Amino acid sequence: MALERVKTGIEGLDSMLKGGIPKRHHVLFAGGPGTGKTTMAMEFLYHGAQAGETCAFISLEEKPDRIIENISSTFTGWKDLKKLIKDEKLIIVKAEKWNFENLVDMIQSLVDHRGVKRLVVDSSTLLKLYFNSKLEFRRKLFELMDFLANIDCTMVLTAELPTSDRSLMRHGVEQFVADGIIVLYNLEKAEKRVRAIEVLKMRGTDHAREIAPIKFSPDGIEVFEGEKVY
Amino acid sequence: MAGKKRLISAEIVICYRRASKRMFGDFQAERLSVAVGEGAGRDLAMESDVKKIAQDIVAELNNCGFGTVRAEKPTTVVAHYDTLSNFVVKDSAEAVSSEKSDKPLCQIIRGFIRGAYTQVYHQENISVKETKCSAMGEKECVFEAYWVPM
């Protein structure tokens, strides 16, 4: 049986993923500060909402108003963003800090009762602070992923990496639990910074192995698959 | 609406919870309990409104055999939001049917209250915490419902 996929709608990325993220997978968008994790996660939802799916963004830190403001100013071409929010095709909510139970309640409620098919939790770095130990975080994350695997929803978790330097990256617990990892970089090239993307892991499917440059345009992120970064 | 028909029966859902715990483990059983409670709470709220939802929650939980329930004045008030009631349950069927525990156990009731409030307000930023549970040795179970400020 052919693997069902969820198109990210991000130009070039779906091609790197050989058609999109496998349905019901839990994927990590990881990267250093300012690499565009939240923005890319929002674009994943935006395209889903445009295609008629109900999508939800759960923020553990930023207020929904602030998120909408940032996205509107980054992607000025998204003229229908506010309408999608008003029509509740794109739901943006803030979960209570330090309350894992509330976060899971929210996820369950959004999926079961609002019919959410694409979900983003921003960010797992903050989620980690809910727990006293790495072991407890890992156990809860496994339970959450296991629970989500049984429902018809594809989930993206964002994760902050302490550095954009590929050689210095350390992988956290969530990277081992996730079905897929997409890493965003802000690399140094001839005294300039170049944004780039890499599909590090994607269970159950082949994917591009090269790092590709990316560009933020008013209509969204463009991935230049096959072009050289260095 | 409340009192006219039973949306859920405490005896049956507790049997389900025990079976699901045995089959799928603690976490999945908890989530199933919350889901059952939330679904019923939402159904109740469809025929209620923000003014009488607290009394409907009380009536329905009493009617369904979840214990002796009363609503109390909230302790947490968030500016610009309506206040949500807290609920106190004596002899909670969920707690009574369980062994002693080191964590709150009444997930069906918790889900029910959250489901009712999220449906009636059509807002997801509502949290319900069981702050006292008789399975932990407390006299009564206490559920605090409050808004998560956006």
- Per-residue pLDDT, B49: 96
Any idea what the CATH number is for the domain that residue B29 is in?
3.30.1380.20
Q: Are B146 and B127 in contact (CB under 8 A)?
A: yes
Band (pLDDT 50/70/90 cuts) for residue A208 is very high
Contact (CB<8Å) A146/B128: no
Expressed as residue numbers, the domain containing B88 is 10-147
Among B28, B115, B125, whose Cβ lies nearest the Cβ of A147? B28
Q: Are B110 and B34 in contact (CB under 8 A)?
A: yes
How far does A102 lie from chain B, in Å, by closest CA? 6
Residue B2 covered by a domain: no
Quick check: B79 contacting A, CB < 8 Å? no
Domains of chain A, start order = 5-223 (3.40.50.300)
Residue B5 covered by a domain: no
Contact (CB<8Å) A93/B128: no
CA–CA separation, B49 and B44 (whole Å)? 10
Residue B22 covered by a domain: yes
Contact (CB<8Å) B125/A147: no
CA–CA separation, A180 and A99 (whole Å)? 26
pLDDT in tens, A10-41: 989 999 999 999 999 999 999 988 899 999 99
Among B39, B119, B127, whose Cβ lies nearest the Cβ of A102? B127
Contact (CB<8Å) B115/A64: no
Sites in chain B below the pLDDT cut of 70: 1-7, 76
- Per-residue pLDDT, B131: 96
Contact (CB<8Å) A99/B150: no
Residues of A in contact with B124 (CB under 8 A): 91, 93, 106, 109-110, 114
- Per-residue pLDDT, A61: 87
Band (pLDDT 50/70/90 cuts) for residue A137 is confident
Q: How high is the ipTM of this complex?
A: 0.83
Residue B4 covered by a domain: no
Structural domains counted in chain B: 1
Residue B78 covered by a domain: yes
- Checking if the pLDDT of A230 tops 80, the result is no
Q: What are phi and psi of B78, to 5 degrees?
A: -110, 130
Contact (CB<8Å) A110/B42: no
Quick check: B28 contacting A, CB < 8 Å? yes
Residues of A in contact with B31 (CB under 8 A): 104, 108, 147
pLDDT in tens, A101-113: 999 999 999 999 9
Residue B126 covered by a domain: yes
Contact (CB<8Å) B127/A105: yes
Residue B1 covered by a domain: no
- Per-residue pLDDT, A164: 58
Long-range contacts of A171-177 (CB under 8 A, 24+ apart): A172/A124, A172/A128, A173/A128, A173/A134, A173/A137, A173/A138, A173/A141, A174/A28, A174/A124, A174/A128, A174/A141, A175/A28, A175/A30, A176/A138, A177/A26, A177/A138, A177/A141, A177/A142, A177/A145
What residues does A4 pair with on adjacent strands? none
